Structure 1
């Protein structure tokens, strides 16, 4: 078999496994992403004023309860269409980028090292951030809408409104691009670096159930770690892409500026708003994504070889 054919087969496997993993994770874990965004958009200043507001949230479970009560069960999937449309092909591209860039970070080693996985993860996350950012802008706009799910605007109408009013650039459908790249770059750097490095140092069990449990535990830990490391960029992204505190006045414009403003006005802990639902989502989400990717890859290889 020629090298070009081998490369095409590898890419096909990576696309199939990555796309399947992304679609599965989004459908299962999306409601927690919405809760995280709602908490991140809630500023300390407005919280003090609107503590009696039914859309003011005291925490994860209070947010879940009030959303169900005032917006209905369907509200937990507000804004899911953009992630579904982008995440299936996006995860495919991310895993292809990760696998194909590893060879550029070997630095003379015959096998991938933890540094290889980390830098390839950073490259994959950077590509992912660029791809998903327009969809994130639409998603955050939809998630910030607190009307009943049946009364909320459609994905397409929100997209058209953003483009019509602010264009395709960094003030419109691509606002918050730097923050999104930082969020995904740092997250994947940590997640891929940890997951694939630790797997290289652990024993492989003959018992499929024990082996599966080990993979899930490593992937879950990688998700928790990347959530804790990248959340300040996530908060900045939500503030930049979401509704501004005062209509018509852009308060959160740049990644660094947003982080500094949140820190100065609301304190250090505000940079970790939404951490609980983020960990609740990304921990098992990473387990689903990475383990599904691993097993689908093995399955496809067995069928194509």
Structure 2
């Protein structure tokens, strides 16, 4: 076997050391581009009264063309990649910390249980993964909020600018976000709402991500464990289990926290049309009320697709990176 130069070995060692982060970031780029049009339709359905999914798609395409479905894609490409990378890093570390704590104090180690052949998920494993997910979700909120606000502004900028019977002052502010791009949109948010304006809706965002990410990881790990136990294969060698668990965790998490996300989107949309210092009332969160679930079907479909692609790509990239060890040897 030919010898590998030191300059070639160094990046390989770095990639293997940060295999989780490298795999998460690569998979994020792929999954974000794949599912972004559905995310755009979801946001429009949440914030404006369309007559369903097809009506939103038809009107968006007629008035804005294909570009309308990809407005604001730059922000999530950067933010989702960063957020997922940080989220997975926090999650990986947190689940080991919580599992060790439970082993020492409760006499039950969730990670040891999960790695046993034929084991099924239980309250202990779900609590461990849920707590680690909630920790990751709360941690990434402060990174994600400005990016997601910018994305939302880009997605509905045309609708805000053409809104009928709007206050002239509000209309002027709304027009400043129209077709401005990610950086200029962020500048205008700071201009109208100050530096703190980048964190408009932070409390709702924190609540959504803490609960949602906890449910997300608990569902993924538990469903993957169930499917791999039924199939009798190792989790990382069973692509069908990874694909199905990825799709399921996206569906379940969105179904349970969707009204919180709807209120966040509506509040942020309203706040973008106000200047700094003006009071913007926060809508109440109503579970099981029909208008709080506008776009849920689209969101669940998008989430199933994006997470199925993400986790499949994540496990694939991670497997390929692990295989690099054979070359170094």
TM-score category, normalised to shorter length: 0.7 to 0.9
- The TM-score, its normalising length taken from structure 2, stands at 0.75
Partner of 2:142: 130
Q: What's the secondary structure of 1:144's corresponding residue? A: helix
Q: Secondary structure at the match of 1:259?
A: coil
- Aligned match for 1:25, one of 24, 31, 52: 31
Counterpart residue number, 1:295: 316
Indicate how the Cα distance of structure 1 residues 86 and 247 shifts in structure 2: closer, same or farther if over 3 A, else same.
closer
Q: Cα distance, 1:302 vs. partner? A: 2.3
Equivalent residue for 1:167? 194
Measure, in 1, the Cα distance between the counterparts of 2:24 and 2:46. 29
Corresponding residue for 2:220?
195
RMSD: 2.8
Do the aligned partners of 2:137 and 2:213 also contact (CA within 8 Å) in 1?
Answer: yes
Larger of the two Rg values belongs to structure:
2
**Of 253, 278, 281, the match for 1:226:** 253
Can you list the C-alpha shifts for 1:172-193, whole angstroms capped at 9, x where unaligned?
A: 1111111112222222211211
Q: Is the 8 A contact 2:39 2:299 kept in 1?
A: yes
Residue in structure 1 matched with residue 262 of structure 2 by the alignment: 235
Change in Cα spacing, 1:259 to 1:297, as seen in structure 2 (3 Å) is: farther
Q: Counterparts in 2 of 1:1-305, with a 5 A limit?
A: 12-42=18-48, 47=49, 57-106=50-99, 107-108=102-103, 109-112=108-111, 113-146=125-158, 152-169=179-196, 172-201=197-226, 202-203=228-229, 204=231, 211-243=238-270, 250-253=279-282, 258-260=283-285, 263=286, 268-304=289-325
Whether the 8 Å CA contact 1:125–1:185 is kept in 2: the answer is yes
Counterpart in 2 of 1:4?
Answer: none
Shift of 1:211: 2.8
1:128-178, CA deviations, whole angstroms, 9 ceiling, x for partnerless residues? 222110011111111111279xx7222222111111121121xx1111111
d(CA) in 2 for partners of 1:25, 1:200: 23
How far apart are the structure 1 equivalents of 2:320 and 2:210? 28
Give the Cα–Cα distance (whole angstroms) in 2 for the partners of residues 245 and 179 of structure 1. Answer: 15
Map Cα deviations across residues 217-243 of structure 1 (whole Å, 9 max, x no partner): 222111110110111111111012113
- Normalising by structure 1, report the TM-score: 0.81
Size of the aligned set, in residue pairs, is 273
Gaps (5+ residues) in structure 1? 1-7, 48-56
